[in-house]
Amino acid sequence: MCDDKEKEIRALGAQRTGGIHCVTIIGQVEGHQILGEDCKTTKYEHILPLLAAAEEAPEIGGVLILLNTVGGDVDAGLAIAELIAGMCKPTASLILGGGHSIGAPLAVAADRSFIAPSAAVTLHPVRLTGVVLGAPQTYRYFEQMQERIVGFVTAHSAISRERLLGYMLSTETLANDMGTILTGAEAVESGLIDALGGISDALHWLHAQIDGTNAEIM
């Protein structure tokens, strides 16, 4: 993680350039297991070096992450989220369409998170497909994985642990599963996402951070 002094040094350098690098994370986040050709995927091994390069590039002052996800590999998604959260350059995320499952940690990992008014965030418990061993260790594994997600989201947003778990375990919204779909306004009201907005709002906030004006977007 960057301390305040290092962020100040990076900010001074960014003021001389000010370019914004855009990264898109859409579809399913693909991890070590290869998904089918009929699935729209974002390969995490492609995103990680892009973010690392953006952090080091002197001509880049900030990073914009555009999100429209439908789930994916938890470990891969958290790896990307941790890399975003550890960047010294200002970062902003914008959910467009949907932020399903791993989309929530990816969104809140940025310094400032935005969601389009027509977009939504889907929160539900961790699930796996395929063969599952009916043993206590399996259920403990699920609990640990879910706790990693809950811990990350609550550490990087204003939503409380109790409220987040309540959304994830709700049986009142989805017809065939547990979970909750939050509209853009609801996601902001809950404290999960910082602000409603679009591309111009996210870019305005990033440029303000690069210029040192620290503008706030409602």
- Structural domain includes residue 51: yes
CATH number at residue 72: 3.90.226.10
- Whole-number pLDDT of residue 217: 42
Answer yes or no: is 78 within a domain.
Answer: yes
User: In the chain, which residues have pLDDT < 50?
Assistant: 14-16, 130-133, 175, 215-218
Q: What is the pLDDT of residue 190?
A: 97
The answer to whether position 81 is within a domain reads yes
Q: Is 5 exposed, middle or buried (0-12, 13-18, 19+ CB in 10 A)?
A: exposed
Q: What is the pLDDT of residues 121-142, one digit of tens each?
A: 999 887 655 444 455 555 676 7
Inter-residue contact 94 to 106 (CB < 8 Å): no
As for how many domains the chain has, the answer is 1
> Is 23 among the domain residues?
yes
- The model carries a pTM of 0.83
Q: What is the model's pLDDT at position 16?
A: 47
CA 145 and chain centroid, separation: 17
In a domain, 59, yes or no: yes
Distances (CA, A) of 182 to 28, 40, 71, 100: 19, 23, 15, 10
Residue 22 lies in a domain: yes
User: What confidence score (pLDDT) does residue 124 get?
Assistant: 84
218 within some domain: no
For the annotated catalytic residues, the residue numbers are 101, 124
Q: E-assigned strands of 44-111?
A: 60-72, 91-100
Domain hosting residue 41, numbered range = 4-211
Residue 216 lies in a domain: no
